[in-house]
Structure 1
Amino acid sequence: MSSIRVRAQLAGDTTTVRALMSHPMETGQRKNKAGEPIPAHYIKEVVAEVKGKNVLTAYWGPAISRNPYLSFQFTGAAAGDTLKISWVDNKGEADSTEVQVG
C-alpha cells in the first residue's frame, strides 16, 4: 500500500491535484522521553509527472509538517492521462503512486 493518497480532477484545461503523504517528517531537533535526539527523517523531493513530462518538482526540508498535504494545478493533461507522484526522503526511502486524471 502506498503512503500517498492523491486525486487529480480536470476542469476545463486545468488539472487540480491534491495529495496527502504519510510520513513522520522529523526535524532532528526533538528529543524522546529519555532525552535523546530523534534523528532527522523528512521528505526531500516530491515529483509529479504526466505522460513522462515533469509538471512539478518540490524540494522540501525538515520544516514541513508530519503527513504533508500538497495541492497544485497545471495545464496540458487530458481525462484518462496517468499522473505519477513520487517522493524521496533524506534516508533514501522512496514511494510513488499513479492515478488517472478525471
Structure 2
Amino acid sequence: MANNSIKIRAKLKEDVVTVKALMTHPMETGNRKDSKGETIPAHFIQEVTCTAAGKEVINAQWSGGISKNPYISFKFKGAKEGDELTLTWVDNKGKSESASVKVS
C-alpha cells in the first residue's frame, strides 16, 4: 500500500466502473533549471497499471510531459462490487507505489 501518495476511488454504476486517482509525484521533465541555472534532473512516472480482480484493465506509458501530481480517470466494464482494484506506478528512477481499493 502507498503511504498517501495515491488517492483512488472506484465506483460501480450500471456495470461500468469509474476509477479516479490522484498521484503525488514531482514529474520533472529534465528541461527546467533551478535558481542557480543548473538543470533539474528528469524524474517522472513512466508506467501506470491498474488491475481489477487480478486482471489488467489499463496500462499507460507516460513521459515527462505529464503535469506534477497527475490525475487519471477512466472507465471499464467487467468488475463487480467488492472486487479489489490496485493502481501502481513506476517512475524513471525505479521507484514505485501502489494503492488498492474495493469497488463500491
CA separation in 2, counterparts of 1:70 and 1:11? 19
Aligned pairs (5 A) from 1:19-98? 19-98=21-100
CA separation in 2, counterparts of 1:47 and 1:27? 21
The offset of 1:69, in angstroms, is 0.3
**Percent identity (aligned):** 54
CA separation in 2, counterparts of 1:82 and 1:2? 18
CA separation in 2, counterparts of 1:71 and 1:98? 15
Aligned length: 102
**TM-score, length of structure 1 as denominator length:** 0.99
CA contact (8 A) 1:2 1:95 kept: no
1:29 corresponds to which letter in structure 2?
N
CA separation in 2, counterparts of 1:60 and 1:77? 25
CA separation in 2, counterparts of 1:55 and 1:16? 12
CA separation in 2, counterparts of 1:33 and 1:87? 30
Residue in 2 aligned with 1:101?
A: 103
CA separation in 2, counterparts of 1:16 and 1:94? 23
2:100 corresponds to which letter in structure 1?
E
CA contact (8 A) 1:46 1:86 kept: yes
**TM-score, length of structure 2 as denominator length:** 0.97
Instruction: Give the root-mean-square deviation of aligned CA atoms.
Output: 0.5
The offset of 1:2, in angstroms, is 3.3
The offset of 1:52, in angstroms, is 1.1
Residue in 2 aligned with 1:15?
A: 17
2:12 corresponds to which letter in structure 1?
L
Which SS does the other structure have where 2:47 is aligned? strand
